[in-house]
Structure 1
Amino acid sequence: MSQFQIRPYRDSDYQAVRQLYVTGVQQHFARACRHVVKQPWIQGSLALTLSLVLILSRSLLFSGFVMLFLLTCGWLLLRYFWRGIIKLNLMQDLQDIRSFYMQQPDSCFWVAESSGLVVGTVGAAPSNIWPSVLELKRMNVCEEFRGQGIAKALCLTVLDFAQRSHFTHITLGTSVIQTEAQNLYHKMGYRLVDTVQLPHFLAKITNYNIYRYQYQVSARPELHPQDNPLRENVTHCTRTPNTTPLQRGRTDQ
């Protein structure tokens, strides 16, 4: 198991953080393709098209070429949509990480570092809707370093930050295809509170949804001894919280 430490973001991490995000999203593309193909209406449409072409052409070879053409067109369309997601997010909070996370009240961005390389990231910023809710964002771990407790350590880092900053809840979103992330959040005590359908037409017709999870910080259980080593190599953000518990109030969702 590789040794790692978690520390606040530095400007020198900029390119590595953005590249880790791009690589992580690209790695999910094949799974997204499988998700789309598994949709009943798509399987039915492909089967019906194959049958009609086969009946009309009476050629198995030609029918195979037609199916290959349709699948290729679908793959290109999905790839265009996928690249659009990457481009959009790179132009949002990841466009200026310092300004969005490190210079805003009650926000922070951390990287997991191993042997001088950035191998994981996570951000935290107050919700735009509920002032007492902290949003966990940009959770990414390099594929070669997964399964070593880095993602859990990053989650615990955000949880500790939420407690020190007097947030009552943590919220996050993860896609329907990110089953490993869903399992992690369940194990960490998050509960599924909503399913959000993306506004893009392709997302709607393929049921590509976002699952919203929430953690109640005020009901946090006692620390498990096995989690202590994950906290030993964490450097916390040192800024003073911008609000007090009374100023934040409570959020019941």
Structure 2
Amino acid sequence: MASSSSTVNYRIRVYQDSDYQSVRDLYVSGVRQHFSRVCCYVLKQPVIQASVVVSLCLLLVLSRSLLLSLCMLALLLVLGRLFLKSLWNLLINQNLRSDLLDIGASYSKQPGARFWVAQWDDAVIGTVGAAPSDNSSTDLELKRLNVHQEYRGRGIAKDLCHTVHEFARLSGFTGIVLGTSVIQTEAQQLYRKLGYRLVGTTLVPHAFAKLINYTIYKYRYQLTTSPLLWQTEE
């Protein structure tokens, strides 16, 4: 599949083993770019704001100095940011050890699964994966949608999604499901424009994530297809 925009000519093709490091590097850079947004989200949560106010009051009582209290509060915020960054890096490492550890085995060698990259010249500038959903034998799960920051806003993500849609139709799935976090507002807008509808939400299963109400939004796209071809082939 070849696509183009006014400034970028690219093609979408099936993943090859030679893409391995490029795919992993693109994933890491993409997730790390969300970190500042995560920090802003955390600071806006009522429980965190209340904790900051209480901490400042306690520091004022103990030190009896506004300047010293503000400095100590700033130190606490820096430590909190470091703690949050360690959790974010833990998430990255967990995913690098899951389906992205052996992309070929996770997608190319699994029935009903596939992984694609968007390529411009010799560079991988986008990725998307698809695998049968764990919750429904008739749904395909869209995963690892990512576009390099310099190439966003050119319709590449939409083309990658359409690639998954076509694969799902040809494979006989009846729907496509995905999950995206509360901070990924642009991704949510894209999915809604493509016809996905919100079907549920869930909290990330981590104590701190539950404390700050870090939510995963679940979307589904309805397809009309024939019975699953990849399951019926002998």
Structure 1 CA distance for aligned equivalents of residues 54 and 91 of structure 2? 31
Alpha carbons 2:175, 2:221 under 8 Å: kept: yes
Does residue 51 (structure 1) correspond to residue 39 (structure 2)? The answer is no
**Which residue of structure 1 aligns with residue 185 of structure 2?**
179
Does residue 12 (structure 1) correspond to residue 18 (structure 2)? The answer is yes
**Which residue of structure 2 aligns with residue 81 of structure 1?**
87
Structure 2 CA distance for aligned equivalents of residues 9 and 56 of structure 1? 59
Alpha carbons 2:174, 2:224 under 8 Å: kept: yes
**Which residue of structure 1 aligns with residue 230 of structure 2?**
242
Structure 2 CA distance for aligned equivalents of residues 16 and 128 of structure 1? 27
Q: What RMSD, in angstroms, separates the aligned Cα atoms of the two structures?
A: 1.5
**Which residue of structure 1 aligns with residue 27 of structure 2?**
21
Higher relative contact order, structure no. (Cα contacts within 8 Å, ≥ 6 residues apart): 1
**Which residue of structure 1 aligns with residue 141 of structure 2?**
135
Structure 1 CA distance for aligned equivalents of residues 61 and 206 of structure 2? 35
**2:39 partner SS:** helix
What is the aligned-residue identity percentage? 54
For residues 1-253 of structure 1, what are the structure 2 equivalents within 5 Å?
1-218=7-224, 241-244=229-232
Q: Provide structure 1 residue ranges, at least 5 long, that are not aligned to the other structure.
A: 220-239, 248-253
Structure 2 CA distance for aligned equivalents of residues 50 and 9 of structure 1? 52
Alpha carbons 2:142, 2:177 under 8 Å: kept: yes
Amino acid in structure 2 at the alignment position of 1:242: W
Q: TM-score, normalised by structure 2?
A: 0.93
Structure 2 CA distance for aligned equivalents of residues 116 and 213 of structure 1? 33
> How many residue pairs get matched?
225
Q: Provide structure 2 residue ranges, at least 5 long, that are not aligned to the other structure.
A: 1-6
After TM superposition, give the deviation of residue 241 of structure 1 in Å: 4.1
Structure 1 CA distance for aligned equivalents of residues 61 and 211 of structure 2? 28
Q: TM-score, normalised by structure 1?
A: 0.86
After TM superposition, give the deviation of residue 243 of structure 1 in Å: 2.7
After TM superposition, give the deviation of residue 82 of structure 1 in Å: 0.4
Alpha carbons 1:192, 1:214 under 8 Å: kept: yes
Q: Deviations over 1:139-179 (max 9, x none)?
A: 00000000000000000000000000010010000000000
After TM superposition, give the deviation of residue 128 of structure 1 in Å: 1.8
Structure 2 CA distance for aligned equivalents of residues 8 and 198 of structure 1? 31
Alpha carbons 2:47, 2:212 under 8 Å: kept: no
Q: Deviations over 1:125-146 (max 9, x none)?
A: 0012211000000000000000
